[in-house]
Every structure is written in structure tokens, then in C-alpha cells.
A and B are shown apart, each in its own frame.
Chain A
Amino acid sequence: MSEKSHLSKRLIPCLDVRNGRLTKGVKFKGNVDIGDPVETARRYYEEGADEIVFYDITASCEARGIFLDVVEKVASNIFIPFSVGGGIASVEDMRAVLLAGAEKVSVNSAAVKDPYLISRGADAFGSQAVVVGMDVKQVPVSETCPSGYEIVIHGGRRPMGIDAVAWARRCEELGAGELCVNSIDADGTLDGYELNLTRMICDAVTIPVIASGGAGAPQHLVDAVTKGGASAALVASIVHYGQYGIAELKDYMEKAGVSVRKV
């Protein structure tokens, strides 16, 4: 029997927002409207979510304004940390979402293109405010990708020729406070997290790691934080369609010996 940690493992619902509405896509393709982000965030908060992630998947400037309004409303309605990602490309973008009430910003593609965005963000707002989201795809082991995992951007469409483990270390050096490791292969499949990838990244860095992509059953969450070594598990479909409640997932994790927060 393993020893329980004092710090609980976090369960983090991820909400994709498009034009002020919640949406969920599969493997980054095709999206359907699944509700109001503020109401949903409030419900997850009441049910015991430990944190919430909002991802802005709109591209236009006017939709950006709608998104910031959503962030402000959420900040006045939930009293747990939440982070915001999607389209964050500058310190000014970071400032806008932090001022709107988010605790953390998540940078992804922009950090791959301009790694010093991470250090500029950490200098301006502290490392605790900067999460680096990594989209990762399994590839044949090669000289450029010795781990067999490669960083991709633009929703998985563009491979970057950067090794995921090397990138994770670089992000830590540059001042990231946390990494969110998303497997493009597992995302939306409901077949479970990419545990091998999660473990490799966790062993390579000393900052907290969030496992993302693939949660479809309660045991997947347990595996992510035990076998995978993650500090937190991101969930989407598994909670968005009412298949499992947050409290129910936590009960399962607790019975499996994982330290969780109950409300």
C-alpha cells in the first residue's frame, strides 16, 4: 500500500469557450455547444472542482472581448483558482486575463515560437501565474526526439521537431510554475491518459505537472496521479456530459488511496 500525500491531487475540469459559449471538440476537430461557461463553472465549483481551466478557442478580436467578460463573471462567482489559456501571445495578453480575475495564464503555441515569453511572464507576474500547456504527439524515436514524443502546435496540426521532455525542462528553466501535458493522441478518446508520457515529464521536472487528454473512466484519474506521477488531472468529456460527477470521481479516487479534497 502506498503512502498518502498530505497535498491532495487536484481534479481540474477544462472548459473550452467559443464566442462566450462552452464547446467540446474531439481531437481538436468539430465543436458542439454544450452550455454556459459561468453556470457550468459555478456548478463544478459547488461540486468540489479544485481548479478550473478556461480555454479560449475563438480567433477574432471581438470574441476576445466576450471571452474576457466571461472570465470576469467567473471570477466573481467561484472562489477557487482558475487559469485561462488560448491565444495568449504577449505579456499584455497575460495581464488582461489576470486583471479579469484569473490566477494563472496558460501559454502554449506562442511559448514554443517565443520561449522567452515564459520568462517575461514569470518576471512580470511570478512563476506561480505561468502555466505552460504542451501539446504532445507520439513519434518514432529519433535524434531530434529521443523521448519519442514531439511538441506540436496549432491544435496538433503542426509538428515542431522539438522533443517533449527537453521542452518540459526548458520551460522549467525559463520560469514556468506548472506544466499541463496534453496528449494529442489520447485527447477525446476516453481511453485514458498517456501515462508513459506523463511519467517521463514528471520525472524530468520538479514543478507540478497536470495530466491532460483521454480521461474516460474514474480509474484513468487514479492512474494519472499514481502511475503517471501527476499533481493534477484535467477532465473534460467525462464530466461535461453528466456521465460522472466531480464528487463521485473524488470518492473513487479516495477509495483507491489517493489524497483528495472533499467539500
Chain B
Amino acid sequence: MLAILDYKAGNQTSVLRALRALGIPAEITADPSVILAAEGVVFPGVGAAGQAMSQLVSTGMDKVLREVVAMHKPLLGICLGCQILLERSEENDTTALGIVPGECHRFRPEWRDGDEPIRIPHMGWNTLNVVRPSELLEGVDSGSRFYFVHSYYTEPAPELVIATSHYGREFTAMYGRPGLWAVQFHPEKSGRPGLRILTNFYRYCQEAARV
């Protein structure tokens, strides 16, 4: 079973619906015992970093997340979840979880994509440039596009970068190491290739739970 972390920040139901459609057992929960007993944890989130961090702290979910990582339980951060796993975000000048070394910065309106200045948020479908192989990307075609919606981008420690994307500049679209991953895009809203990433994550969780 996958636990979808509930900390009252944004819409976790999309992730739940996608997992259900894939036949993956999942539940939205804020119960530490359920989270710590799950095969893997999904850490979603939309909205602002500052507010999300205070929600995490006030619900005690920050501690639960640290415990999940300390136990080497597989974790997948999505969008804002991907951003606040890092040490700091420029958004609301937020001190974030600091589980992964790195920071989060804002896209600059003077940057250009194609013939036009970029619009912020970076909203829509973009490609991945895979720089390091990952279990999560198995079976995903190289030209696949994923759905992004964000105004800040992550800069984790370079050795953790799995895939980048390009919008005004190259930025990290996916980072992590086996068992601790984060994606800036929304796999639950990225059609078939996105669903494949969720399936790959669950398979990894099941295998990790077995050993």
C-alpha cells in the first residue's frame, strides 16, 4: 500500500485517483502509524512553499517524513513536495525540510523560450533530458512529455540530478537516488508516461518491502 501524505496543502485526490486506476492500493493519510507501515510514501503538494512548510510542521508531518527517509522507506516527492525536500526555497524565503541538499529559485521573466519571453508559471507539457538512468524511467519513451505547473525550480546537489528540462534555462525535472525520488512535474497528470512512473515507483516499493 502507498501512503499519500495528507498535510492539507493542495489536491492529493488526483494522485489517489491515478493510483486507483492503476490498481495500486493507496490511501490519503495523516496517521503516522499508517504512513510508517506503508510500502512507500507519496509526498505531493501544490501552493506556496511557506504555507506548505508551516502546514507540515503544525501537523507534525515534517517529523514523519524524516522518519520515512531514515527508515529508507521509498519516497516520491511531487511538484511542491519535490521543492520542499530541499534546504531552502526562494518562495516566501522559506527554510525547507533539508532532507536533500539544494535550493529552489524562481524563473525569471526576462528568459526566453523559442521566440517569446517565458510566461510564469511554467505551465504545460515539456520533455525530459535524462542525465542518469533511473528505475522510475524504465519503459518511458525518450521523447515523452510531462505536465508541469510551477514558478520555482529546484537546484539539488548535481550528483542527484536524474533528468532536466528546459524553460528559459535548463532546470532539474527529476532528482534523487534509489528509494528517494522527487519529480517537478505531475506524473498523475502526465498521461501514459506519467502513469508508468507511478507504476515503476510502486514496483520498486514492493520489492524494497520484500527484502
Contacts and interface: CB of A to CB of B under 8 A. Distances in A.
A231 B115 contact: no
Interface in B111-140: 113-127
Given A80-B191, A125-B47, A231-B119, A103 B11 contact: yes
Nearest to B115: A2
B124 A231 contact: yes
Interface residues of B, number: 43
Which label, helix, strand, loop or mixed, suits the secondary structure of the B interface?
A: mixed
A219 interface: no
A178 B167 contact: no
Which label, helix, strand, loop or mixed, suits the secondary structure of the A interface?
A: loop
B194 interface: yes
A2 B190 contact: no
Contacts of B14: 75, 101, 103
Contact of B124 (A8, A76, A263): A8
B25 interface: no
B117 A206 contact: yes
Contacts of B166: 6
A75 B21 CA distance: 10
A81 interface: yes
A209 B156 CA distance: 31
Interface stretch (A15-23, A111-119, A126-134, A189-197): A126-134
B203 interface: no
B191 A3 contact: no
A263 B116 contact: no
B114 A3 contact: yes
A79 B18 contact: yes
Contact of B125 (A7, A45, A99): A7
B165 interface: yes
Interface string A26-55: 000000000000000000010000100000
A222 interface: no
Given A6-B113, A178-B123, 8 more contacts: A8-B125, A50-B125, A75-B13, A125-B46, A177-B149, A209-B119, A261-B125, A261-B145
Interface of A: 2-10, 45, 50, 75-77, 79-81, 98-99, 101, 103, 125-129, 177-178, 206-209, 229, 231-232, 259, 261-263
